């Protein structure tokens, strides 16, 4: 069977042509080559189209990119080796023909000097930088860096590339240095503008979200105030009815006492005045409104009122308790992921002095979501942090601190 490749006897590398063998010999100094019936692998990555000549290259490519599907096109590219009666590698012995004299001189290819200097300034060796610029055929530094990263495990990565002297052409940049610098500045400015536009867009989104939340809180506060007014009106009406019933009882008691005194004095009982029966009071029919349970905001307000009324003799202590609870709530609202803000030790002397010893202080924190555990801690689990509830608690505390009439009525 005809040879399909040339195998290096020193490193076992398979080469497709005598030219590749010649280049391999000049780069490595290996001289022992022989024909092989094993074809050089041609494994094409179905994802990115990169060819891999060995199983090692395939494994490295899979490790770097995650691509695992390859198409084996070895049979399509395998061709018999044509030696053309010339030595593959090594110096020619005089008298064995003039093939060594006819072999082209191999030189280092010329690459873009500025790009090479920039790569060297980045810390890449000269050989790697030259290979990258030569094989990418470009003076683009980013493209060369990507090539170095992809081929960093190649066995000849640190060997200087060689090309025939007659085929060596200076790789000219498509742009002059001034144009390349202007292009780079343009790309930087474009990236900055894009970043600024993205930041402006995000700021607008955040502003819209703040406005939406503000409107929702304002509407919820309006509804709560309206319901509070309705409850006050109903409470005053009930107080008035209770007062009327008390007055009626007092009047009846006076009439009974008067009749008792006339009886003791031997006076005839006073003729009762004709009493005109008052029509039974007719209850005003109003549309039935189902009672709803008190909201969290109402419970918080009542808790704070009870605390102030229970300690009304020491307003400074009450105000300090309100400010301390506002600090606890504010810390959690600003940094909900901080565990230290969501955990309060009940036995802490400062906490006991300012909040724990006051009736209603711990109850208010529990209304905000804090839970009491067996280790004498008040803990607010992260998944139970309710920003709307914390904002409501903050509003109620601010009202209690700033409103001089809070808890008076």
State how many domains the chain has: 3
Q: Is 168 part of a structural domain of the chain?
A: yes
Among residues 174, 193, 210, which one ends one of the domains? Answer: 174
Of 307, 292, 286, residue with least CA distance to 228: 292
Q: Is 160 part of a structural domain of the chain?
A: yes
pLDDT of 384 over the 80 cut: yes
How far is residue 271's CA from residue 18's CA, in Å, rounded to a whole number? Answer: 146
Q: Which residue has the higher pLDDT, 334 or 281?
A: 334
Among residues 159, 174, 189, which one ends one of the domains? Answer: 174
Asked whether residue 68 falls in the same domain as residue 125, the answer is no
Q: What does the pLDDT look like over 182-204, one tens digit per residue?
A: 766 776 787 788 889 999 999 99
Asked whether residue 316 falls in the same domain as residue 389, the answer is yes
Of 262, 265, 398, 380, residue with least CA distance to 322: 398
Asked whether residue 15 falls in the same domain as residue 82, the answer is yes
Q: Is 50 part of a structural domain of the chain?
A: yes
Give the Cα-Cα-Cα angle 98, 102, 106 (nearest 5 degrees).
Answer: 135
Pairing of strands 343-345, 14-15: unpaired
Dihedral (CA of 382, 388, 394, 397) sign? negative
Long-range contacts of 309-318 (CB under 8 A, 24+ apart): 309/407, 310/358, 310/359, 310/360, 311/358, 311/359, 312/407, 317/358, 318/358
Measured N-to-C along each axis, helices 126-136 and 113-121 cross at an angle, to the nearest 10 degrees, of: 130
For 133, the token pair is: 């610029």
Asked whether residue 326 falls in the same domain as residue 388, the answer is yes
Dihedral (CA of 139, 145, 146, 152) sign? positive
Percent of the chain exceeding pLDDT 70 equals 81
Please give the radius of gyration of the chain, using alpha carbons only, rounded to the nearest integer: 47
3-state SS assignment for residue 115:
helix
Instruction: Return the pLDDT at 148.
Output: 87
For the segment 248-266, the average pLDDT, to the nearest whole number, is 87
Q: Is 228 part of a structural domain of the chain?
A: no
Instruction: Return the pLDDT at 52.
Output: 81
Among residues 104, 131, 152, which one ends one of the domains? Answer: 104
pLDDT of 250 over the 90 cut: yes
Alpha helical stretches, state H, 122-176: 126-136, 141-150
**Structural domain for 123, as ranges:** 113-174
For the segment 255-262, the average pLDDT, to the nearest whole number, is 86
DSSP 383: G
pLDDT of 119 over the 80 cut: yes
How far is residue 18's CA from residue 13's CA, in Å, rounded to a whole number? Answer: 13
Q: Is 146 part of a structural domain of the chain?
A: yes
Q: Which residue has the higher pLDDT, 169 or 54?
A: 54
3-state SS assignment for residue 150:
helix
Instruction: Return the pLDDT at 103.
Output: 58
Asked whether residue 45 falls in the same domain as residue 63, the answer is yes
For the segment 352-364, the average pLDDT, to the nearest whole number, is 87
Give buried/exposed letters for 323-351 (b at 16+ CB in 10 A, else e): ebbbebbeebbeeeeeeebbebeeeeeeb
- DSSP-assigned beta bridge partners for residue 52: 43
pLDDT of 139 over the 50 cut: yes
Asked whether residue 38 falls in the same domain as residue 65, the answer is yes
Q: Given pLDDT bands bounded at 50, 70 and 90, which one contains residue 170? A: very low
Of 170, 105, 156, 154, residue with least CA distance to 127: 156
Most confident option among 76-90, 169-183, 304-318: 304-318
State the DSSP H helix or E strand holding residue 257, giving kind and residue range, or none if neither: helix 177-264
Asked whether residue 163 falls in the same domain as residue 97, the answer is no
Q: Which residue has the higher pLDDT, 126 or 181?
A: 126
Q: Given pLDDT bands bounded at 50, 70 and 90, which one contains residue 169? A: very low
Name the pTM for this structure: 0.32
pLDDT of 98 over the 60 cut: no
DSSP 41: P
Instruction: Return the pLDDT at 327.
Output: 93
Asked whether residue 333 falls in the same domain as residue 397, the answer is yes
Q: Which residue has the higher pLDDT, 172 or 277?
A: 277
Q: Given pLDDT bands bounded at 50, 70 and 90, which one contains residue 108? A: confident
Instruction: Return the pLDDT at 291.
Output: 47
For the segment 70-98, the average pLDDT, to the nearest whole number, is 58
Percent of the chain exceeding pLDDT 90 equals 11
Assess contact for 30 and 156: CB atoms under 8 A.
Answer: no
Q: Is 305 part of a structural domain of the chain?
A: yes
pLDDT of 407 over the 70 cut: no
Assess contact for 13 and 7: CB atoms under 8 A.
Answer: yes
pLDDT of 174 over the 50 cut: no
Pairing of strands 163-164, 371-372: unpaired
pLDDT of 287 over the 60 cut: no
Q: Which residue has the higher pLDDT, 369 or 405?
A: 369
């Amino acid at each position: 069977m005809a040879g399909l490749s040339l195998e290096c006897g020193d490193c076992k590398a398979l080469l497709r042509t005598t030219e590749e063998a010649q280049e391999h010999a000049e780069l490595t100094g290996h001289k022992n080559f022989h024909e092989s019936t094993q074809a050089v692998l041609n494994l094409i990555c179905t994802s990115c189209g990169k060819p891999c000549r060995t199983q090692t290259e395939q494994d490295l490519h899979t490790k770097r990119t995650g691509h695992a599907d390859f198409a084996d096109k070895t049979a399509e590219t395998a061709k018999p080796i044509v030696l053309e009666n010339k030595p593959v590698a090594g110096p020619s012995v005089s008298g064995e023909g003039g093939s060594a004299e006819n072999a082209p001189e191999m030189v280092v290819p010329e690459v873009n000097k500025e790009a090479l200097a920039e790569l060297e300034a980045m810390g890449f060796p000269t050989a790697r930088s030259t290979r990258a610029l030569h094989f990418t055929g470009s003076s683009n530094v980013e493209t060369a860096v990507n090539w170095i990263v992809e081929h960093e495990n190649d066995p000849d990565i640190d060997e200087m590339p060689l090309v025939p002297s007659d085929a060596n052409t200076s790789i000219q940049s498509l742009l002059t240095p001034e144009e390349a610098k202007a292009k780079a500045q343009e790309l930087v400015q474009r990236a900055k503008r894009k970043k600024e536009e993205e930041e402006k867009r995000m700021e607008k989104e955040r502003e819209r979200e703040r406005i939406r939340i503000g409107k929702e809180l304002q509407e919820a506060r309006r509804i709560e105030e309206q319901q509070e007014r309705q409850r006050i009106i109903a409470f005053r009406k009930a107080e008035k009815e209770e007062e009327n019933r008390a007055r009626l009882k007092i009047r009846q008691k006076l009439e009974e006492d008067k009749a008792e005194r006339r009886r003791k004095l031997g006076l005839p009982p006073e003729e009762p005045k004709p009493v005109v029966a008052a029509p039974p009071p007719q209850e005003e029919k109003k549309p039935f409104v189902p009672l709803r349970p008190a909201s969290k905001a109402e419970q918080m307000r009542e808790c704070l009122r009870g605390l102030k009324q229970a300690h009304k003799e020491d307003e400074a202590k009450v105000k300090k308790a309100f400010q301390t609870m506002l600090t606890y709530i504010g810390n959690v609202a600003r940094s909900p992921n901080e565990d230290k803000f969501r955990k309060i030790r009940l036995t802490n002397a400062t906490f006991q002095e300012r909040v724990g010893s006051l009736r209603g202080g711990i109850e208010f924190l529990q209304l905000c979501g804090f839970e009491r555990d067996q280790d004498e801690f008040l803990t607010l689990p992260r998944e139970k942090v309710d920003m709307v509830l914390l904002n409501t608690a903050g509003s109620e505390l601010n009202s209690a601190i700033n409103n001089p009439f809070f808890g008076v009525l």
